[in-house]
C-alpha cells in the first residue's frame, strides 16, 4: 500500500515538474526576444552605421582673457575628411587660438578632432546668413617651408584664395582667487594672412589685401597683372577687391 501511494506521489510530482518546465519553455523565447529588442534599441545608433568615424581626444579650453572661438560659438556643420568621406550635422566650433576643430557632443563635452584627418569643414547657416568653409592648408610655401593650419576659403578655383583667423598672446592678467594668484593669457586676433592655393598643395602668402602686396607675392607676373587691372579698372584696397582680382586672374589664366 505504501509503495503504491509513494508511486502516485512521485508521478504527480513528476507531472508538476514537467508542466512547470513546459511553461518555462514557452516563456523563455518571448523573454529572449524582448530582451534582444531592448538591447538593440539601446546600443545601435542607426545613423552611425552609415557615417564615417571621427577621431580625436577629449578637450577642454583653458581660460583666457578674450574669446578663443571663431564667431564665438558652435554651429551645425559638415566635416570633409581626407578619406573622401563626409560627416554631416555635427555641432562644431573653430578655436582660433589653438587652431583646432572642436566637435561638441552634448552635456558640455567636447572632442578635439584629429587635424590630420580633416580636409575641410563648413559652418552652415551662420549668423552671417551664409555657409563658411575652412580648408586645412597642408603643404609647401615660399622657400620650401611647410604650412599646416586651417584657413577660411574666400574663393575657389584653379588658384584659390584663403585667409587665416588666428589669435596670439599679447599679455597676461593677474587674478587672485581664494588667496592664490593666477595668471591668464590675454589674447587678440593676429593680423590676417592671405594665401593663394595652387595645385599640388603649394601656397603663397599675401600679407595684406593691397595691390603692392600682391605684386610682391607674384613678382614675375607683375607686368601682366598691372596691365589686366588697368584694362578692367581694378585695384586692391580691401578683402573684397582682392577676391575680385584673384577671380579675374584665374579667368585670364594669369595664374594657374
Q: What cell does 132 get?
A: 563658411
Residue of 235, 197, 198, 234 lying closest to 213 (CA atoms): 235
Q: Please give the pLDDT value at position 73.
A: 83
> Is residue 145 pLDDT above 50, yes or no?
yes
> Is residue 46 pLDDT above 90, yes or no?
no
> Is residue 8 pLDDT above 70, yes or no?
no
Residue of 256, 221, 215 lying closest to 235 (CA atoms): 215
- Measured in whole angstroms, the distance separating CA 254 from the mean position of its chain's CA atoms is 34
Q: Please give the pLDDT value at position 10.
A: 45
Contact 206, 196 (CB under 8 A): yes
Distance between CA atoms of residues 101 and 152, nearest Å: 13
Q: Of 27-31, 122-126, 133-137, 252-256, which range is least confident?
A: 27-31
> Is residue 39 pLDDT above 90, yes or no?
no
User: Would the CA dihedral through 248, 252, 255, 256 be positive or negative?
Assistant: positive
Query: pLDDT: is 89 or 1 the higher one?
Result: 89
Q: Give burial (CB, 10 Å; 0-12/13-18/19+) of 176.
A: exposed
What is the largest distance, in Å, between two alpha-carbon atoms of the chain? 127
Residue of 125, 54, 121, 130 lying closest to 92 (CA atoms): 121
Q: Please give the pLDDT value at position 51.
A: 59
Integer CA distances (angstroms), 113 to 128, 157, 212, in order: 25, 27, 38
Q: Please give the pLDDT value at position 44.
A: 34
Amino acid at each position: 500500500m505504501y509503495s503504491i501511494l509513494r508511486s502516485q506521489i512521485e508521478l504527480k510530482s513528476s507531472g508538476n515538474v514537467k508542466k512547470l518546465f513546459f511553461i518555462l519553455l514557452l516563456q523563455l523565447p518571448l523573454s529572449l526576444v524582448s530582451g534582444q529588442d531592448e538591447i538593440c534599441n539601446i546600443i545601435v545608433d542607426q545613423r552611425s552605421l552609415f557615417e564615417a568615424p571621427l577621431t580625436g581626444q577629449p578637450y577642454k579650453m583653458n581660460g583666457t582673457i578674450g574669446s578663443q572661438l571663431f564667431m564665438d560659438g558652435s554651429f551645425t556643420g559638415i566635416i570633409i575628411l581626407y578619406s573622401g568621406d563626409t560627416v554631416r550635422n555635427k555641432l562644431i566650433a573653430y578655436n582660433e587660438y589653438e587652431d583646432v576643430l572642436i566637435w561638441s557632443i552634448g552635456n558640455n563635452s567636447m572632442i578635439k578632432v584629429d587635424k590630420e584627418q580633416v580636409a575641410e569643414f563648413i559652418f552652415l547657416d551662420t549668423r552671417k546668413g551664409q555657409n563658411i568653409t575652412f580648408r586645412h592648408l597642408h603643404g609647401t610655401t615660399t622657400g620650401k617651408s611647410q604650412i599646416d593650419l586651417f584657413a577660411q576659403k574666400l574663393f575657389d578655383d584653379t588658384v584659390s584664395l584663403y585667409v587665416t583667423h588666428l589669435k596670439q598672446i599679447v599679455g597676461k592678467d593677474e587674478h587672485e582667487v581664494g588667496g592664490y594668484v593666477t595668471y591668464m593669457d590675454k589674447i587678440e586676433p593676429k593680423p590676417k594672412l592671405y594665401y593663394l592655393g595652387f595645385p599640388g598643395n603649394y601656397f603663397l602668402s599675401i600679407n595684406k589685401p593691397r595691390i603692392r602686396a600682391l605684386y610682391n607675392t607674384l613678382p614675375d607676373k607683375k607686368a601682366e597683372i598691372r596691365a589686366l587691372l588697368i584694362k578692367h579698372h581694378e585695384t586692391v584696397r580691401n578683402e573684397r577687391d582682392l577676391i575680385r582680382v584673384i577671380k579675374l586672374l584665374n579667368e585670364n589664366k594669369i595664374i594657374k
